[in-house]
Amino acid sequence: MQVFRDLASIKKDKNTVLTIGTFDGIHLGHQNIIEEVKKNATAYGARNFVVTFNPHPRKILSETSNIKILSTLREKMTTLENLGVENLYVIEFTKEFSQLTAERFFSNYIINGIGIKEIIIGYDYHFGKGKGGSVETLMKMGKENDFSVSQIEEVKVKGNTVSSTKIRKALIEGDIQLASTYLGGHYSFSGVVVSGDRRGRTLGFPTANIQLDDPEKLLPALGIYVVEILIGGSNFFGLLSVGKRPTFYNEGAIVPEVYIYDFDEDIYGEYITINIIERLRGEEKFSSAEELIKQMNKDKESGLEILSKKIN
């Protein structure tokens, strides 16, 4: 997949089928759009293109927004490439860029920049300053500039429309199964293993503390999770703790740390990815280290039972 960060580096070619969006999480609805882009591009003998934005527009448009992202740019690029996207244009979303009208943006960046034969958009697509552009805007411009517009219906799961907002809500509430259903796969995050207070080792459960590769990445609700861990091309399984460690600390930052089953290697400095499989329980404060160890042993067994059912 070719990744472009400025318009000047893109060769204009009208024989292009594209889509535009933030694509946070790249959920089932997004995947549906991308599949249509690929299918139509193949039918036309055209190139396929995805145009996205970084950072998340809501971070720029609202100074009070505390939105956390489902996909870092690195994750988004990896997922799009795995889905078969050939070309990705990442537009830096700034205050200045946000002031472009829908017509000016589309004319400058798409019609006269990338080139376009067809655009495929989602059911609720709006764009440009104040979200002033809509499917009607695109159809009018399409008639004037000889490109077609296709709008894809929403994807529903059990009667509920899939959206990034609903996935965030599910994760914040600890509903991993619902989030995974909407995403069409496990929710994941990545980061570098860093040194912690090494308390886990003294408890008999050595853990790897993870420094997220993007502090804006959304972590799920505080608690204990069964996870898959990807390290340097190999996969392992274990338990993830997302919490403030209240048994030992009265306050503190939320720390993601992972205990890996049957693993005793030095992975400090390694970049790892965590795929969240299932939530075991919420975070608890125990009266003593001994009580915590008892619970951790129960969690370990519960995790192994869950994995035996999912893997076998």
Residue carrying the six token digits 């909407």: 182
Both tokens of residue 4? 């472009």
Secondary structure letter of residue 305 according to DSSP: H
**Residues 229 and 236: beta-carbon distance below 8 Å:** yes
All structural domains of the chain = 2-156 (3.40.50.620), 186-311 (2.40.30.30)
**Tens-binned pLDDT, residue by residue, of the chain (312 aa):** 999 999 999 999 999 999 999 999 999 999 999 999 999 999 999 999 999 999 999 989 887 778 999 999 999 999 999 999 999 999 999 999 999 999 999 999 999 999 999 999 999 899 999 889 999 999 999 999 999 999 999 999 989 999 999 999 999 999 999 999 999 999 999 999 997 665 556 566 788 999 998 999 999 999 999 999 999 989 999 999 998 775 556 567 888 999 999 998 889 999 999 999 999 999 887 877 788 889 889 999 999 999 998 765
**Residues 149 and 135: beta-carbon distance below 8 Å:** yes
CA 236 to chain centre: 21
Q: What would the DSSP string read from start to end of 163-227?
A: -HHHHHHHHHTT-HHHHHHHHTS-EEEEEEEE----HHHHTT---EEEEESSTTBPP-SSEEEEE
Residue carrying the six token digits 């390694």: 270
Both tokens of residue 264? 């005793």
Instruction: Summarize pLDDT for 106-158 with one digit per residue, the tens.
Output: 999 999 999 999 999 999 899 999 889 999 999 999 999 999 999 999 999 98
Q: What would the DSSP string read from start to end of 228-243?
A: EEEETTEEEEEEEEEE
CB atoms within 10 A of CB 257: 21
Cα–Cα distance for residue pair 273/254, rounded to 1 Å: 18
- Per DSSP, what are the bridge partners of residue 92? 54
**Residues 88 and 50: beta-carbon distance below 8 Å:** yes
Instruction: Summarize pLDDT for 272-309 with one digit per residue, the tens.
Output: 999 999 999 998 878 777 888 898 899 999 999 999 98
**Residues 15 and 60: beta-carbon distance below 8 Å:** no
The pLDDT, as a whole number, for residue 255 is 87
